[in-house]
């Protein structure tokens, strides 16, 4: 491709060709190095996770590790089932609530309000995406967790961090991702689709929800999958609000998510305990891989449909 471009340019701008070629080539090399760096990082990480995580899992036993219900390093019990289930419930509850909100906000931004207002709102939403997760965690620990105390007292449970608090934090954290990806998808639907729908006599809202949104489906699904990825990978914020007890999840009780286990116990762990934390890392890594692969599949399919 580069060669073609340089051939063309040498015909038209012969005088500048030498400089241009040099720039082209050097940029080519720089891009190659950057590309390779990313690939090497991924390969190294995969190998490292496998090498450091797999021994613990095989020592503990794959079944005991993945389906054991008790996590108690002091008793040499390393079952992560409660954390896996908690992570999934937290992630999917958050997506379940954030997706409709996110899509409606995206529709609102893309179709229903004038451009300037939309730009301003989008800037605010992007800002939301840029806030460090520890800040969300702090706000959650000081505002959301105490707000749930009343519910917990009413249910006769001890007050403190809970799955509900984690879900609320996750909803706030994944909304910007869902909104911005969905909005891009909705905006990229050709205007003619909507015009045709309007010309056939449907109202504006009808055309948006019956024509535009379905046409943007693959982009919205991509936003959802990215949201899942972010939610399942979030550690710091949920660690600060979830209570971190490694028990089977209930909405008003403390829960421990997979990600949170690693930073919580890392500092003082040693021996098999530490290796088991690597094992958790490996499990998370596999989950993220699955999410990424499904994202790619969704995007490819979407591409086929729209041609």
CA angle centred on 263, ends 64 and 295, rounded to 5°? 75
Binding mask 56-85 for another protein (x = CB under 8 A): --------------x-xxxxx---------
**CA pair distance 180, 126, nearest whole angstrom:** 8
126 versus 195: smaller Cβ distance to another protein: 126
Report in angstroms the alpha-carbon separations of 287 from 41, 83, 128, 177: 18, 13, 26, 19
Question: Rounded to the nearest whole angstrom, what is the least distance from the CB of residue 156 to another protein in the complex?
Answer: 7
Question: Rounded to the nearest whole angstrom, what is the least distance from the CB of residue 254 to another protein in the complex?
Answer: 5
61 versus 158: smaller Cβ distance to another protein: 158
**Under rule CB under 8 A, how many of the chain's residues touch another protein?**
40
150 versus 210: smaller Cβ distance to another protein: 150
Question: Rounded to the nearest whole angstrom, what is the least distance from the CB of residue 28 to another protein in the complex?
Answer: 15
249 versus 302: smaller Cβ distance to another protein: 249
* Neighbouring-strand partners of residue 255: 243
**CA pair distance 164, 160, nearest whole angstrom:** 11
Binding mask 156-195 for another protein (x = CB under 8 A): xxxxxx----------------------------------
Site for another protein in 243-302 (CB under 8 A): 243-247, 253-254, 256, 263-274
Task: Give the residue ranges of DSSP H helices in the chain.
Answer: 2-12, 17-60, 62-67, 81-107, 115-130, 133-139, 145-154, 163-187, 191-199, 204-207, 213-215, 217-233, 236-241, 258-266, 272-306
**CA pair distance 115, 178, nearest whole angstrom:** 20
The residues of the shown chain that bind another protein, judged by CB under 8 A, are 70, 72-76, 141-142, 145-146, 149, 153, 156-161, 239-240, 243-247, 253-254, 256, 263-274
């Amino acid at each position: 491709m580069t060669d073609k471009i340089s051939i063309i340019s040498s015909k038209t701008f012969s005088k500048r060709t030498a400089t241009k070629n040099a720039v082209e080539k050097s940029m080519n090399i720089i891009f190659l190095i950057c590309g390779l760096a990313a690939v090497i990082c991924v390969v190294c990480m995969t190998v490292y996770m496998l090498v450091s995580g797999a021994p613990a899992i095989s020592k503990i036993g794959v079944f005991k590790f993945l389906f054991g219900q008790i996590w108690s390093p002091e008793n040499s019990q390393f079952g992560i089932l409660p954390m896996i289930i908690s992570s999934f419930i937290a992630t999917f509850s958050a997506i379940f609530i954030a997706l409709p909100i996110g899509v409606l906000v995206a529709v609102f931004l893309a179709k229903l309000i004038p451009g300037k207002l939309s730009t301003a709102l989008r800037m605010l939403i992007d800002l939301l995406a840029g806030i460090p997760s520890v800040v969300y965690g702090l706000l959650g620990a000081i505002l959301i967790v105490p707000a749930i105390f009343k519910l917990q007292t009413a249910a006769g449970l001890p007050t403190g961090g809970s799955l509900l608090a984690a879900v609320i934090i996750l909803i706030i954290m994944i909304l910007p991702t869902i909104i911005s990806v969905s909005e891009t998808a909705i905006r990229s639907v050709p205007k003619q689709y909507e015009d045709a729908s309007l010309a056939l006599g449907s109202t504006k809202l009808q055309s948006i929800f019956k024509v535009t949104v379905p046409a943007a489906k693959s982009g919205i699904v991509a936003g959802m999958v990215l949201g899942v990825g972010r939610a399942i990978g979030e550690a710091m914020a949920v660690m600060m609000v979830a209570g971190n007890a490694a028990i089977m999840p209930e909405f008003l009780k403390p829960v421990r998510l997979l990600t949170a286990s690693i930073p919580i116990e890392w500092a003082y762990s040693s021996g098999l305990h530490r290796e088991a934390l690597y094992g958790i890392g490996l499990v998370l890594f596999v989950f993220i891989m699955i999410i990424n692969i499904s994202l790619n599949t969704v995007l490819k399919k979407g591409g086929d449909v729209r041609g």
